[in-house]
Amino acid sequence: MRFFVAREQIVGNEVTLVGSDVSHIRTVLRLKAGDSIQVISDSGQCLTVRLVEVNTKEVKGEITASATINVESPLAVHLGQALIKGNKFDVILRKSVELGVRSITPLMTERCVVKTNRTEGKVERWKKIALESCKQCGRSQVPEVAKNIETLETFCRENEHQDLKLVFWELEEKKTLKDIKPDVQPDSVAVLIGPEGGFSLAEIERAGQYGFQTVSLGPRILRAETAPVVALALLQSLWGDL
């Protein structure tokens, strides 16, 4: 278990933990003064912190060792993921953080079953899930979760500059990721994954106008929550760090 701290929580050699981290340390891990924890700073330092004071409001400790960590992939994957039902979007979020995604943008597309554009509370929750996943998998850089639910077109426009632009489409029969042979190793890729009902032809064409090429994930139709996991694993394997 690693704890994440912001810059202002570190003063000189002293680290202060507050909020839910305090109850986690006291009641879940049952740690006391003298015990050590691993803390990740927002500048990507992994700190070993020996606890000095543990009370109900805050936990204070001193840094005994520090190391620079880098578990960030050289390939920046920007995922445009159509909203899907229930908690499946949360599942995608967690798994894509584990697989090193750089940013996630929830999309409202034509065939989304979820119809609400209301974002109140949702984005905050998603950000929290992304942070929790980072803690679990040891990432120091928390992926960006877009502030709003976007349209496909906005995502395409905002990602026009990425090295590769891919729209995963079950009706693409020929081209798989192996067939994409960029001249130079790509540093960034924008990825579109559709909802339960898939993308409409109009959406595929619209994405094409922004330079997104259709790609297949094989002859079987994957569930909406499986597709991004497979796509990310393959992309990281081809051009990232897997």
Residue pointed to by tokens 């995922």: 79
**Binding region for ligand SAH (CB under 6 A) out of 19-27, 142-150, 190-198, 202-210:** 190-198
Q: Are 213 and 167 in contact (CB under 8 A)?
A: yes
Q: Please, what is the minimum distance in Å from the beta carbon of residue 170 to ligand SAH?
A: 4
Vertex 183: Cα angle to 179 and 184 (nearest 5): 115
Structure tokens given for 140: 């120091």
Structure tokens given for 194: 């559709």
Rule CB under 6 A: which of 163-182 touch ligand SAH?
168-170
Q: Are 160 and 219 in contact (CB under 8 A)?
A: no
Query: Using the rule CB under 6 A, is 107 a contact of ligand SAH?
Result: no
Residue 213: closest CA among 186, 237, 242: 186
Q: Please, what is the minimum distance in Å from the beta carbon of residue 84 to ligand SAH?
A: 8
Query: Using the rule CB under 6 A, is 15 a contact of ligand SAH?
Result: no
**Binding region for ligand SAH (CB under 6 A) out of 19-27, 50-58, 194-202, 234-242:** 194-202
Residue 16: closest CA among 58, 66, 44: 58
**Contact pick of 39, 207, 217, 229 for ligand SAH (by CB under 6 A):** 217
Query: Using the rule CB under 6 A, is 222 a contact of ligand SAH?
Result: yes
Contacting residues toward ligand SAH, per CB under 6 A: 168-170, 193-194, 197-199, 216-218, 220-222, 224, 227
